[in-house]
Copies of this chain bind each other. A is one copy, B any other.
């Protein structure tokens, strides 16, 4: 049994498997819940290479899984035509003792996810065609949006049925137990592609080697809070997280900022992560795009699958510009389908920008599910070749942009992808005078937001906050 660390007792040296609760550099990793049931810390068990190799070789001897998740279509089909090996796995009776010892030591480790499963060696017929595990860090992981998104990520519907994932979840001291609950639910969902779940409250630990960082967590604006105060509070969070990413994430880590004000948070991120490519930062405007498509479909009396090439320009705020000029319905430009110019110019944008608020009024809470869907859409758009003549919207860094916009902003623009995870800004969208004016309004708002967070941007002049109008974020009103 010595080669099977899966359920082993904690080595004398102490296994660094625990909530990453301590500041970077701390060597203390113990969470004391002695006496409680040995459930759920779901942490990455940092085995030595030797242990991993030993584990892999023990797994190599086990039988195939008889029934992968039905949804895993391709892998499932492959398995269906192969026989099942009936070779006995090694018995692993140490688990009971190990669990007890782990609790005795005050360390609650995940019995299931604590190993980094070696997909090259485990169940080779299932995993042979799998890609290298993608490490996805998620902040605000105990929140409502994540409660939808994490299951989408784990199911394979976002990154594909051949893409195993590791989830690295950042919570807070306050959300610790909730985060453990989320991990339990992920465990109970038996997603074959979910190979590792790591929980923590220290960004320097949680972001380690991340390929994606989905930055969802942010403070909502409290009653009476100035927008400048919100910019400052959330800006500090994103400054700190960007520094952590800069130090520990994969050198090609991609970032998607969802926490508001997301454009400016992403800009702060770019300037505080100088070693990561600026173009790898995104701020989410896909929900706005989806809502815009929906409203155009409603107005035209068409189903939304007919609506294409819809760009959201600018800030994820009420100054956003859903672009009806370049949008198409059934392949025809929208102004030739919806001839109600007054509606297009005056009602359409508020309908999109205020949809979140309308939903809160109905629903009593914010639109977590459709936000998660739009995050999934955003990610999928980067890993699927964009259809000819279509686009997707994402707020990205403006350096070198083809539309003459201020080159130091995060601004939503129409993009396309060849499916490799990267994007290019589409450079031939028609900009008429009306659209130009609207783009400049949103640009001016983002410049003001940037001025307000100068103290969070290395090398920038001191913050001068000139935001007077109290522009709202979608959903705030």
Residues of B within 8 A of A79 (CB): 387
Give every chain B residue within 8 A of A185 (Cβ-Cβ): 359, 363, 367, 369-370
Q: Assuming the A-B contacts A92-B302, A123-B305, A303-B122, are A294 and B190 also in contact, with contact meaning beta carbons closer than 8 angstroms in the complex?
A: yes
Does A48 reach chain B (CB closer than 8 Å)? Answer: no
CB atoms of B63 and A332 under 8 A apart: yes
Q: List residues 389-405 of chain A with CB under 8 A from any CB of chain B.
A: 389-390
| Residues 178-200 of A at the B interface (beta carbon under 8 Å) | 178, 180-182, 184-190, 192
Give the nearest-CB partner of A306 in chain B: B65
Contact A66 B302 (CB under 8 A): no
B89, A337: Cβ atoms under 8 Å? yes
Contact B178 A293 (CB under 8 A): no
Select which of B70, B123, B339, B363 is within 8 A of A384 by beta carbon: B70
Interface residue ranges of A313-333 to B (CB < 8 Å): 328-332
Query: Would you give the shortest CB distance from A373 to chain B, in whole angstroms?
Result: 4
Q: A290, B189: Cβ atoms under 8 Å?
A: yes
Copies of this chain present: 2
Q: In chain A, residues 74-93, which have Cβ atoms closer than 8 Å to a Cβ of chain B?
A: 76, 79-80, 84-89, 91-93
Q: Is the CB of A39 within 8 A of B390?
A: no
A246 CB-CB contact with B under 8 Å: no
On whether the beta carbons of B188 and A89 are closer than 8 Å, the reply is no
> B305 contacts A192, CB within 8 Å?
yes
A88 / chain B contacts, CB cutoff of 8 Å: 330, 332, 336-337
> Is A279 on the interface with B (CB-CB < 8 A)?
no
Which of the 9-residue segments A23-31, A147-155, A253-261 touches chain B? A147-155
A78–B348 Cα distance when bound, in Å, is 32
Interface centre among A301, A343, A362 (most CB of B within 10 A): A301
Chain B residues within 8 Å of A40, by CB: 362
Residues of B within 8 A of A216 (CB): none
Q: By the criterion CB–CB under 8 Å, are B188 and A6 in contact?
A: no
**Does A96 lie within 8 Å of B340, measured CB to CB?**
yes
Among B187, B188, B359, the residue within 8 A (CB) of A287 is B188
CB nearest to A96 among chain B residues: B340
Q: Indicate if A52 sits at the interface (CB-CB under 8 A).
A: no
Are A305 and B189 in contact, with the CB atoms below 8 A? no
Chain B's closest residue to A362 (CB) is: B181
Partner of A290, one of B68, B188, B380: B188
State whether the Cβ of A263 lies closer than 8 Å to any Cβ in chain B: no
* Chain A, range 420-453, C-beta contacts under 8 Å to B: none
A247 interface hit (Cβ, 8 Å): no
Quick check: is A298 within 8 A (CB to CB) of the other chain?
yes
Q: Smallest CB–CB gap between A70 and chain B, Å?
A: 4
Question: In chain A between 149 and 182, which residues have their CB closer than 8 angstroms to a CB of chain B?
Answer: 151, 155, 157, 177-178, 180-182
Question: With contacts A91-B339, A185-B367 known, what are 14 further pairs, Cβ within 8 A?
Answer: A65-B305, A70-B377, A80-B387, A88-B336, A88-B337, A91-B336, A111-B299, A112-B297, A112-B304, A177-B362, A178-B362, A185-B363, A188-B287, A188-B374
Chain A residues with a Cβ under 8 A of chain B: 4, 6-7, 37, 39-40, 59, 62-71, 76, 79-80, 84-89, 91-96, 111-112, 117, 122-123, 126, 147-148, 151, 155, 157, 177-178, 180-182, 184-190, 192, 287, 290-291, 293-294, 297-306, 308-309, 328-332, 336-340, 343, 355, 358-359, 361-364, 367, 369-370, 373-374, 376-377, 380-381, 384-387, 389-390
